[in-house]
Structure 1
Amino acid sequence: MPTGDPEPRLFPDDAAIRRIGKGLLACTLPKADWTHEAHIAATCWLLRDRPDVDVDAEIGGFIRRYNAAVGGVNDDTSGYHATITRSFVAGIQSYLSLSAPEASLAVTVNTLLLRAEGQRDWPLRFYSRERLFSVAARRDFVAPDLAPLPGA
């Protein structure tokens, strides 16, 4: 499914991804570095390399805290979006269940960014635009209306 998105910015090595993830958790990542690719990389790092973190339960708090720390607002029109985040978490979990566990973090993340699960429009495979971009979906996870998410 072509997206029209520009080619994703890939990561040169594992350290670049860990910097993103650690910066998210510490709320020290420069705002300009919090890109779509960074969201995917940080989530992948948390799911793959941080078994001490319950990503399903904690990702929303991490992102909300980070957004506030860099001057962002988490409200009905901007900032954290629960349904988009949880959709990507489901996609990344599904991808990780199929990927080679011995692959480097950078190879894992970069491959993911080139797959459907890493594309910006991936949640639209499961949600209508109206439902996905609703205030209710931003505030809390809402179930998809087009197809079930992986692992559901």
Structure 2
Amino acid sequence: MSLELSVSQWLNGPPPLLAGRPLFLYAFQMLCPLCVEEGTPMMNTLHASGVTVVGLHTVFENHEAQTPSALAGYVARAGIRFPVGVDRHDGTDDAPVTMRRLLLMGTPSIVSVSRKGAIRERLFGVPPQEALRKRFAKL
């Protein structure tokens, strides 16, 4: 399976061309406690150290509170510098398109993507940062 995102808009600009570079897709919700307390700070640190991170705000609950404008405030407050896409809803389900397509169990989720764009692993939760660095090195 290869990475195919369905995004309605981007914050921090769209990601650069991703072909040829490994990356982590970080699926989160701004009202998810584990995302706010652990996931986002860790992904910020990884991104600052040179790991390619692309965020995906994938809302499957509390839709009315997690709007793109509220997300923009969260991105600024949390110091997120990597691109963040808003996972598109198609009206068929509470879960957005990319979340369903990638079979993500919830948030936070981290998807490892190889240089060739192939999905290598889907992680639910927040693994230790060193474990993620090792996974990234293998991509």
TM range (shorter): 0.3 to 0.5
Of Structure 1 and Structure 2, the greater helix share is in 1
Of structures 1 and 2, the one with the larger relative CO (CA 8 A, separation 6+) is 2
TM-score (norm 2): 0.37
Greater strand proportion: 2
**Rg (Cα) greater in structure:** 1
Q: TM-score, structure 1 length as denominator?
A: 0.34
